[in-house]
Amino acid sequence: MLRILLANPSSLFLENTFDMDTPQRTTNASEIDFRRKFELKDKVVVISGGCGLIGRAFCEAVAQFGAHVVVADIAAAQPAIFAKELQAKHGNKCIGIDLAVEDKVSVTKLRDEIIASFGSIDGLVTAHQNKTHLIFEPFESVSEANWDKVVEVNLKGTFLLCQVLGSYMAEKGSGSIVNIPSTYSVVAPNQNLYKGTNMGCPAAYSASKGGIDALSQYLASYWAAKGVRVNMITPHGVWNKHEDQFEKNFANFSPMQRMSYNHEVAPALVYLLSDASSYMTGNNMLVDGGWTAW
């Protein structure tokens, strides 16, 4: 860690303090150990929704790259059990913490417990979601209660985690945040995808995810000078034993003609949390099989 004081000579009023891991100043790439750039050894990475379909793959991947993982999820998901399995398998210290992302007291308790256990936070990944969107309601009859729940968990939960844990990282002068919006904050759902199935995607999901995208870009700019990078990963169509008709429809509309797997999303996270992405902030990595390319 190096502390650099940059004074702008053209202005008496502008003086920025950067406190960040400074990349090697060279044009000779042969001096660089590129494998090491991807290492997460001894970094403390917090993953909300860590017991979910994608969250579990995120936890496994970052543990394989050497991180200490904090699995944060609702109590019913039993994050402590999964954390114990990760620790037994990888040897890195991993802990599970019960969390309700929409509750600031719970999020503050999460931060305090991590600092008491590890003394630092290097990575924050917000991979939680409210599942109300799986019960599709036509836009004309969406209940306010469902709208509020989706926005509260998805968007407010991401805001609180960024505010409480991200502010800690900004104060310390380094960190990487990865938020998870959705394809449906980039493009609208193709309604034909759901034909002949029991599925759908309600507007509240798209709206909450659009907010996460905007918030992430805001924070990328806001915290850039503080050494905290804020990026996004947008997964798409991650297979979870979907009904056959949905999988067929999906293949029909996808350039790659198939759904994805959670382990195909997780490598993007290793990249964004590690020094390999040291010049990347405000980016949304689309792991979507080309869905938004045509």
Ligand X SMILES: NC(=O)c1ccc[n+]([C@@H]2O[C@H](COP(=O)([O-])OP(=O)(O)OC[C@H]3O[C@@H](n4cnc5c(N)ncnc54)[C@H](O)[C@@H]3O)[C@@H](O)[C@H]2O)c1
Q: Which of 43, 45, 46, 48 binds ligand X (CB under 6 A)?
A: 48
Indicate the residue among 20 and 124 with the shorter CB distance to ligand X.
124
Q: Which of 53, 224, 225, 276 binds ligand X (CB under 6 A)?
A: 53
Query: Any contact of residue 268 with ligand X (CB under 6 A)?
Result: no
The residue count for the chain: 294
Q: Which of 146, 70, 132 is nearest to 107 (CA)?
A: 70
Point out which span in 62-70, 111-119, 177-185, 241-249 binds ligand X (CB under 6 A).
177-185
Point out which span in 21-29, 73-81, 140-148, 245-253 binds ligand X (CB under 6 A).
73-81
Residue 50 token pair:
């860590």
Q: Which residue is nearest to ligand X (CB)?
A: 52
Q: How far is the CB of 268 from ligand X (least distance, A)?
A: 12
Indicate the residue among 55 and 175 with the shorter CB distance to ligand X.
55
Q: How many residues bind ligand X (CB under 6 A)?
A: 27
Query: Any contact of residue 101 with ligand X (CB under 6 A)?
Result: yes
Indicate the residue among 20 and 201 with the shorter CB distance to ligand X.
201
Query: Any contact of residue 80 with ligand X (CB under 6 A)?
Result: no
Chain residues 127-156 in contact with ligand X, contact rule CB under 6 A: 127-131, 153
Q: Which of 123, 202, 211, 235 binds ligand X (CB under 6 A)?
A: 235
Indicate the residue among 221 and 292 with the shorter CB distance to ligand X.
292
Query: Any contact of residue 96 with ligand X (CB under 6 A)?
Result: no
Query: Any contact of residue 251 with ligand X (CB under 6 A)?
Result: no
Query: Which amino acid appears at position 204 of this protein?
Result: A
Q: How far is the CB of 48 from ligand X (least distance, A)?
A: 6
Indicate the residue among 130 and 217 with the shorter CB distance to ligand X.
130
Query: Any contact of residue 52 with ligand X (CB under 6 A)?
Result: yes
The three-point CA angle 28-29-32 to 5° equals: 115
CA distance linking residue 215 with residue 179, whole number of Å: 9
CA distance linking residue 63 with residue 221, whole number of Å: 29
Indicate the residue among 185 and 274 with the shorter CB distance to ligand X.
185
**Contact residues: ligand X, CB under 6 A:** 48-49, 51-55, 73-74, 77, 99-102, 127-131, 153, 180, 182-183, 235-238
